[in-house]
Amino acid sequence: MNAKTVVKTGTLPTICRQCDMHCGIKVHIENGKLIKISGLDSHPENRGSVCPKGLAAIDTVYHEERLLKPLKKRPDGSFEEIPLGQAMTEIATKLLEIKEKHGARAVGCWQGEALGFAQQEKYARRFIHAFGSPNFFSCDSLCWASRYLAYGLVQGYWNPYSDVQNANLIILWGTNPPVSHPTFMKSIKEGRRKGAKLIVIDPRLTRIAKQADMHLRPLPGSDGALAWGLIHYLIEKKRYDTGFIENYTTGFEEFSAYAKEFTPELVAQKTDLTEHEIIGCCQMIVENLPRVANYVGVSIEHQDNGVNNLRAIACLGGLCGAVDIPGGDLWPEVMGVRDLNLYEKLPLADQKPVGADRFPVLYSFTKECHTMTGMDYILGKGEYPLRGLIICGGNPANTNPNAQKVAQAFSSLDLLVVRDLFLSETAKLAHYVLPAASFLERSELHFYTQHQWVSLSRKIMEIPGVVDEYSFWHELAHRLGFGEEYFPWETEQEVNSWLLEPTGITVDELQKRPEGMRYKPIKHQKFRDRLFPTPSGKFEFSSHYLEELGYPALPEYVEPLYLRDRSKDYPFILITGARKIVFLHSRFRNIQRFRRLHPRAEVEIHPEDAGRLGLQDNDQVRVMSKIGSITLPAKIVQEAEIRPGVIQITHGWEQESNVNRITFDMVNDPISGFPQVTSVPVRLEKIDSV
Ligand code: SF4
């Protein structure tokens, strides 16, 4: 590889973007080659630590399978290398043909994790609106954004930060931070060092659960019932923050009336916890009021009543008086940079963004189209055709539920362009594959709202023929005739300066301070001098906005579908999504030392269930859902690690090992549209060896 570093030898600070934690790192360079990555002690996010994925940035950059040349698919399905100029000309021509034939909205853009969100995502959003289509997709219609909706609906601020460092009690719902969010784990450790108690709510005995003062293992999908049980107790015992509720909230009367039915006895039935466990949890909350920090993981989002379960947890924070106080749910403030999005100038809402009619709350809060509905549009079952997609760093053919349907849809497109670092399963389906720049080959702003902090990453190296995201969108926009108006900046540096202009902080200042700087002092209880940004201006236990859209106003509990509609044919419950620290969704499985640690997908199963099925470790087991089956080796875990009747398969594995071949795309949370992938009814069958 003919890479060129910006200095021949030296150590350069920058920001890691192997995942969404954006840690400060130092890149060590010798004779024009990156040789090591270490942590930047002065960065507030990671304070010097680097996880294995961050260390592997060098493996990623120099990987022998790294895409370095544009590829075009031949009629026989193989790829040929072509010059970048030719690829861009042909892509632009095809985009105009689709626009001419079906209208601009027949084209969409899709941003994925591998090339980053934030600024990179905004380039894609800007491009597609400037092109005339409202159809922007990302994994935010199936991961992470559901909590934004829930907290946004309750308190207006989308992205509260659980101030675990200053909490008296930390409650983790369905998350395993030592593996999924190492930097957040550092904050939890800090809180624990200062004396915080820890409750972990998870059906599995995870790494964090082993450290907890209390580990509750409710039935998958029943977290909402538990949240209501805790609410019931606080109200019954009158241990809630009356001042906050009287002055700053709405809907408390009907909320408390609804809570009445969630007695410990009923909640025990619904969750399969004991009354003793439920009351013990309530008492621990009461003993530690008001500094109770709730933090929710994506597994709550992936329940079929996910948003309302999350709303109930957000309401619990209000009852505790933990809203925007140290040790509670902080409302970080944004920096106020310029916006690359064009939603004000070119809203295009009349163009009927895909899925906005089915899931109006998702679209209203995130301006995201619904990716799973998008597959139906591509397959000709939508209100209008969707015929072209540009996907940057996403691998939905692996990571979306019902993966076969995604592959079928993508294979039927008139134009699929994929930009990525590697030839992913999605890239293999593309007409054009373009090599993308890694985070070490670009410069962008990084915001840490929890610290009210901004950093600027720097370009460490360049690879001839590999362009960064901004250069790609800039070039394509100019070829399509709207570059002058919407992508006028020649370089990332110019974009960064334009973004920062209204803030008073400059690119120069950030370049001199590689760890970055605080953009605003942190203030607490901001609701005392400003309204909550909700329709009522108050913290909303009950939402008239939702009611008007036909949803229940209260965050009502609905039992998971597998309990409402029990099936003898599918007696096991499949949980997906448990993380391995060295992988992130489908990424990093091509790093050999990671692959040696976790060489294959496995069905994690309770010993009793394995015994009933006659399974030994490594026996092949077929896992069948209503839409398909996969066959994987069994891994019999310790009794305490998983509930009987529940199995776990980590997502992100390739082809026949991909658990998304059996997850559903059309069992969705009615508010967010998120797929239910943490409680999928399945059947197991041992495959006898021949
Ligand atoms: S957690 Fe790891 S991969 Fe993520 S930004 Fe930090 S060092 Fe990089």
| Closest ligand 1 atom, residue 52 Cα | 2
| Cβ–ligand 1 contact at 273 (below 6 Å) | no
Q: What CATH code would you report for 161-330+526-548?
A: 3.40.228.10
Q: What is the DSSP code string of 294-341?
A: EEE-HHHHTSTTHHHHHHHHHHHHHHHT-BTSTTSEE-PPP-------
| Cβ–ligand 1 contact at 605 (below 6 Å) | no
In Å, how far are 356, 381, 399, 671 from 374, measured between CA atoms? 11, 9, 15, 17
| Cβ–ligand 1 contact at 650 (below 6 Å) | no
Topology of domain 561-686 in CATH is Barwin-like endoglucanases (2.40.40)
E-state strands within 40-181: 71-73, 79-81, 107-111, 136-138, 161-162, 169-173
Give the separation between CA 231 and CA 254, rounded to whole angstroms.
13
The alpha carbon dihedral of 605, 608, 613, 617 has a sign of: positive
- The rounded Å distance from CA 668 to ligand 1 centre is 31
Please calculate the CA angle 625-630-633 and round it to the nearest 5 degrees.
120
- The rounded Å distance from CA 266 to ligand 1 centre is 42
Q: What CATH code would you report for 71-141+341-437+466-472+481-486?
A: 3.40.50.740
Identify the segments of the chain with pLDDT beneath 50: none
- Pick from 15, 23, 60, 61 the residue to mutate for probing ligand 1's pocket: most ligand atoms within 8 Å of its CB: 23
Torsion of CA 676, 678, 682, 687, to 10 degrees: 130
Single-letter amino acid code for the residue at 290: P
pLDDT at site 378: 98
pLDDT at site 583: 95
- Pick from 36, 51, 60 the residue to mutate for probing ligand 1's pocket: most ligand atoms within 8 Å of its CB: 51
Give the separation between CA 69 and CA 60, rounded to whole angstroms.
16
- The rounded Å distance from CA 121 to ligand 1 centre is 19
| Cβ–ligand 1 contact at 215 (below 6 Å) | no
Closest residue by Cα to atom 6, ligand 1, is 23
User: pLDDT tens-digit profile of 17-55?
Assistant: 999 999 999 999 999 999 999 999 999 999 999 999 999
| Closest by Cα among 66, 57, 58 to 33 | 58
* Domain extent listing, the chain: 71-141+341-437+466-472+481-486, 161-330+526-548, 561-686
In Å, how far are 95, 130, 138, 353 from 108, measured between CA atoms? 10, 12, 10, 10
ipTM computed for the complex: 1.00
User: pLDDT tens-digit profile of 615-665?
Assistant: 999 999 999 999 999 999 999 999 999 999 999 999 999 999 999 999 999
pLDDT at site 34: 98
Q: Provide, for the chain, the percentages of residues in helix, strand and coil under a 3-state DSSP scheme, each rounded to the nearest 5.
A: 35, 20, 45
| Cβ–ligand 1 contact at 19 (below 6 Å) | yes
| Closest by Cα among 648, 140, 590 to 400 | 140
Single-letter amino acid code for the residue at 315: C
Q: Which residue has the tokens 């082993």?
A: 210
Whether 24 and 39 have beta carbons less than 8 Å apart is answered as yes
Closest residue by Cα to atom 4, ligand 1, is 19
Whether 398 and 424 have beta carbons less than 8 Å apart is answered as yes
pLDDT at site 406: 98
Give the separation between CA 275 and CA 294, rounded to whole angstroms.
21
| Cβ–ligand 1 contact at 177 (below 6 Å) | no
User: pLDDT tens-digit profile of 144-194?
Assistant: 899 999 999 999 987 778 999 999 999 999 999 999 999 999 999 999 999
- Pick from 19, 38, 47 the residue to mutate for probing ligand 1's pocket: most ligand atoms within 8 Å of its CB: 19
Cis peptide before 178 (omega within 30 of 0): no
- Pick from 53, 58, 444 the residue to mutate for probing ligand 1's pocket: most ligand atoms within 8 Å of its CB: 53
- The rounded Å distance from CA 18 to ligand 1 centre is 6
| Cβ–ligand 1 contact at 46 (below 6 Å) | yes
- The rounded Å distance from CA 152 to ligand 1 centre is 27
- Most distant pair of Cα atoms in the chain: their distance: 73
Q: Which long-range contacts (CB under 8 A, 24 or more apart) does 232-237 make?
A: 232/259, 232/260, 232/261, 232/262, 232/263, 232/264, 232/267, 233/264, 233/278, 233/279, 233/282, 233/285, 233/286, 234/282, 234/285, 234/286, 234/316, 234/319, 234/320, 235/259, 235/319, 237/282, 237/286
| Cβ–ligand 1 contact at 50 (below 6 Å) | yes
| Cβ–ligand 1 contact at 5 (below 6 Å) | no
| Cβ–ligand 1 contact at 585 (below 6 Å) | no
Single-letter amino acid code for the residue at 683: R
User: pLDDT tens-digit profile of 495-530?
Assistant: 999 999 999 999 999 999 999 999 999 999 999 999
| Cβ–ligand 1 contact at 15 (below 6 Å) | no
- The rounded Å distance from CA 208 to ligand 1 centre is 19
Whether 509 and 443 have beta carbons less than 8 Å apart is answered as no
Backbone torsions φ then ψ of 83, nearest 5 degrees: -65, 150
Q: What is the DSSP code string of 192-228?
A: HHTT-EEEEE-SS--HHHHT-SEEE-PPTT-HHHHHH
pLDDT at site 485: 98
| Closest ligand 1 atom, residue 18 Cα | 3
Q: Which structure tokens are listed for 302?
A: 């992936």
- The rounded Å distance from CA 50 to ligand 1 centre is 6
Q: Which residue has the tokens 């009461």?
A: 286
| Closest ligand 1 atom, residue 39 Cα | 7
| Cβ–ligand 1 contact at 183 (below 6 Å) | yes
Give the separation between CA 35 and CA 568, rounded to whole angstroms.
56
pLDDT at site 690: 60
Q: Which residue has the tokens 């010097």?
A: 48
Name the strands in the sheet holding 214-216, side by side, starting at the edge strand that comes first in the sequence: 214-216, 197-201, 169-173, 292-296
| Closest by Cα among 514, 489, 513, 517 to 503 | 517
| Closest ligand 1 atom, residue 19 Cα | 4
Backbone torsions φ then ψ of 553, nearest 5 degrees: -70, -35
| Cβ–ligand 1 contact at 114 (below 6 Å) | no
169-173 and 161-162: which strand pairing? unpaired
- The rounded Å distance from CA 182 to ligand 1 centre is 8
- The rounded Å distance from CA 455 to ligand 1 centre is 15
| Cβ–ligand 1 contact at 14 (below 6 Å) | no
